[in-house]
Amino acid sequence: MLFPLPQPASRPHRVVITGAGIVTALGAGWELNNAGFRTGQTAFRPVTLFDVSRQRTKIAAEIDLPDYGLPARLSRHAFARTSRATRMLLLAAREAWRQSGWEPDDQLPVVLGTTSGEMTLGQAYLSQALAHPRRFKHQPTRVAHYQVQRQALVLCDEFGFTGPLQIISNACASGANAIGHAFALLRQGHARRVLTGGYDALCHLTFAGFDSLQALSPTPCRPFDAHRTGLTLGEGAAVLTLETLASAQKRGAEILGEIIGYGATTDTHHLTQPHPAGDAALAAMQAACTQAGITPAEVDYVNAHGTATPQNDATESAALNRWAGARAASLPVSSTKASIGHLLGAAGAVEAVVCLMALRGQWLPPETALETPDPVCQFPIVRQPTDATVNVALSNSFGFGGANATLVFRRWS
Amino acid sequence: MSKVYIHGLGAVSPAGWGVPALRAAVSQNQPLPVQSLPRPGWDKKLSVRSVPPPLPRPAFFSHPRLRRAATMSQYTIAAALEAIGPDAALVQSGALRLGVIVTTMAGSVTYSRRFYEEVLGNPAAASPLLFPETVFNAPASHLAACLNSPGINYTLVGDEGSFLQGLALAAHWLADDSVAACVVVGTEEPDWIVADAVRLFQKSAIHTSGAGALYLKKPSPARTALSAITDAFTFTHGQNPAAAARAMWRQLGPGTPAELLCDSATAPTQRPDWPGPRLSPKSILGEAFNASAAWQCVLACDQIATGSVPAASVSVVGSSQQAIGARFSQSPVTPL
């Protein structure tokens, strides 16, 4: 039963990560992404997925989607009906699933974040309905697979579990909110294991949307650069297998890292623009750190939201300056969107995996394309591949609608 | 165990704006009139049930955030404000920590359709005013802005059962003191593209739109308590909707002759063995996904609050994801 709730544990459970899967324009899998983020590779190129000839911006971080191979449980027919976003999600989930060593389980909660799901199918549906209103071939399949719950259901069928499914769509904070919610379920004893993450594929509607707002940069994005010109879109997926520490230790699982804090707030200033002072961002960071029981002095790296839009980076800088105080002068910060673009609903999940990589590898992901750090940043921006002691990493995700989420991760040793 | 009370209800439906209009329409037990909606390229029109314009015009319509907001944002805010009632002033002043949960399946489909039509025409000229309103969480964001509520705010996307998952999430937030109160809104908006899609799967279904809201608190002087929410039984290869519904009904329990069942009934997912009275609002109002599930809960709680029944169960067998149920009951007044 989802309610009434069992008596809460006398102390919150510790929550650890035992599997992580990632697909970005740097490649599919931990190894390729680990190498790419560590050295600050960039993965931008001309868009080929749809016609951008009439858009102001013509680049993005597209994925060369690898062949998935034979599905484990899905029929070939069912797999053939899946599209780009679903396949990214499946690839990331399979990597996390294999790493975790989990077995299929009834009532394994799944919490995912996305903004668009399979929007390309929605686009195809509308295009056909307008151009050929009496032609219905493929339309029922498009409707069914366009819905975001369908992608999660395909995931369940492929790996042999039954959910329950929750899909959080809090714009660009969706992935972080999904992980944060999964963390809360485990911490409070409502579940023993949760599969979570985020995914989003490039699509014309979203690309044109950000272009219409003049938020896209014609050149690869440069977060926190004084002369930044906007964001660059990307696509991808990341999935984490989370479980209580007791569950992981009981089965002798390899632990990749620990989640120790989550904060979520709402900026009510404007639908698309954050309040310049960054109050809500600050509150999210403070809430996450309070839950984690740490101060800014104990944070070794911040993976910023850092979209490279003038407003976001200014607001986030203001919030980071206020939150970190004296620590700001020596607190390494970077935005890995400089490598793979803005993954929207997948961003928070992918950046969570980047934090795990930094914690495990003891390095800081650089922004190699940064030219002139914005002087409002009182913190150093990581610009070169750097080895460092990283015990605690904080990740910010902010979205349209004022959705603000912060996650805090700790190295497992 | 933490007790959670239903402190307020809100609704916008084809019956009108407000719970009294919904209650009146359902009490007459007659399907509401159907209107025609043009579908581009077709002579035959689609059948829908439209939400009538609000009379008088709600004051919140003049909020700067709502100048260009989608219809579903208006529905969401109207239902939420009705449910929250006088507590809205406490939220606005910062005296009450409110959680916001909005659930939807189709989202802001009208603006999405209009925006993509503009993209197909000339992407360089697509309106920057439309795009931000297409994001799923725009209604939840507008609601938070109207209430000046900086707290946790989730938009859950999924089939009808998502509304009940939202109620469970609200109960969790209340239990762990993340919030002092929480409003859960199920909302959908009208558009020919959705009516067209619904018709592909259920020829007899009438697409409608609106919102329903439950306002949850602990403690509360309210007479209605949340007694139970079942697990969400997902439709998978091994569990079709009928099997999921049966599993949900087993958890929900057998009911009593005095207990109301408010269901999402369409055979074969209609519960056959219920001993008490039964209400199937979809047959009167039409299909509005998460708003439909919300109306079921609103009507169930309303019947308890007005003393018509001592308890009510809600059975939701969703269109594409899950079967999930809830039970509400009359509760002795708890001192604040």
User: Which of B1, B134, B137 is nearest residue A403 as measured by Cβ atoms?
Assistant: B137
Q: Is B113 on the interface with A (CB under 8 A)?
A: yes
Residue B40 to residue A279, Cβ atoms within 8 A: no
User: Which of B116, B127, B154 is nearest residue A177 as measured by Cβ atoms?
Assistant: B154
Is B323 inside any structural domain? yes
Domain shared by A81 and A175, yes or no: yes
Is A384 inside any structural domain? yes
The whole-angstrom distance between A32's CA and the closest CA on chain B is 32
The kind and range of the H/E element at B312 are: strand B311-317
Amino acid found at B238: G
Q: What residues form DSSP beta bridges with B263?
A: B315
Distance CA B161, CA B166 (A): 9
Is A203 inside any structural domain? yes
Give contacts of B 130-189 with A, CB under 8 A.
131-138, 140-142, 144-145, 148-159, 162, 164-165, 167-169, 171-172, 175-176
Residue B113 to residue A265, Cβ atoms within 8 A: no
For A232-285, how does the pLDDT look when each residue is reduced to its tens digit (9 = 90+)?
A: 999 999 999 999 999 999 999 999 999 999 999 999 999 999 999 999 999 999
Domain shared by A25 and A54, yes or no: yes
Domain shared by A286 and A230, yes or no: no
For B235-261, how does the pLDDT look when each residue is reduced to its tens digit (9 = 90+)?
A: 998 899 999 999 999 999 999 999 999
Average pLDDT, chain B: 94
Active site residue A172: yes
- Domain ends where: A221, A250, A279? A250
Is B336 inside any structural domain? no
Domain shared by A220 and A355, yes or no: no
Q: Furthest-apart CA pair in chain A: how many Å?
A: 66
Residue B218 pLDDT exceeds 60: yes
Residue B42 to residue A133, Cβ atoms within 8 A: yes
The whole-angstrom distance between A387's CA and the closest CA on chain B is 36
Residue A212 to residue B127, Cβ atoms within 8 A: yes
Domain shared by A74 and A186, yes or no: yes
Domain shared by B144 and B207, yes or no: yes
Q: Is B294 on the interface with A (CB under 8 A)?
A: no
Q: Which domain holds residue A386?
A: 261-410
Q: Nearest Cα to A183, choosing from A375, A395, A357, A360?
A: A395
Residue B151 to residue A170, Cβ atoms within 8 A: no
- 3-class DSSP state of B124: helix
Active site residue A204: no
Q: Nearest Cα to B183, choosing from B85, B95, B117, B112?
A: B85
Is A400 inside any structural domain? yes
Mean pLDDT of B317-331: 95
Specify the number of domains making up chain A: 2
Active site residue A145: no
Q: Nearest Cα to A230, choosing from A401, A27, A64, A59?
A: A59
Is A324 inside any structural domain? yes
Is residue A99 within 8 A of residue A241, CB to CB? The reply is yes
Distance CA A87, CA A237 (A): 9
For A88-118, how does the pLDDT look when each residue is reduced to its tens digit (9 = 90+)?
A: 999 999 999 999 999 887 789 999 999 999 9
Domain shared by B88 and B148, yes or no: yes
Kindly list the residues from chain A whose CB atom is less than 8 angstroms away from the CB atom of residue B113: 126
Specify the CATH number for the domain of residue B308: 3.40.47.10
Within 8 A by CB and 6+ apart from B228, the residues are A1, A3, A4, B251, B252, B325, B326, B327
Half-sphere exposure of B5 (CA within 13 A, CB side): 20
- pLDDT the model gives residue A60: 98
∠ Cα A89 A281 B143 (to 5°): 80
Domain shared by B295 and B176, yes or no: no
Domain shared by A217 and A92, yes or no: yes
Residue corresponding to tokens 């469970």: B168
- Domain ends where: B188, B217, B246? B217
Domain shared by A354 and A210, yes or no: no
Structure tokens at A317: 């800088």
The whole-angstrom distance between A383's CA and the closest CA on chain B is 33
Domain shared by A172 and A278, yes or no: no
Is A117 inside any structural domain? yes
Mean pLDDT of A287-309: 98
Domain shared by A153 and A299, yes or no: no
Q: Which domain holds residue B238?
A: 224-330
- pLDDT the model gives residue B268: 60
Domain shared by A245 and A346, yes or no: no
Residue A264 to residue B152, Cβ atoms within 8 A: yes
- 3-class DSSP state of B327: strand
Is A160 inside any structural domain? yes
Domain shared by B101 and B177, yes or no: yes
The whole-angstrom distance between B187's CA and the closest CA on chain A is 14
- Domain ends where: B182, B198, B217? B217
Range name among A5-9, A70-74, A306-310, A388-392 with the lowest pLDDT average: A5-9
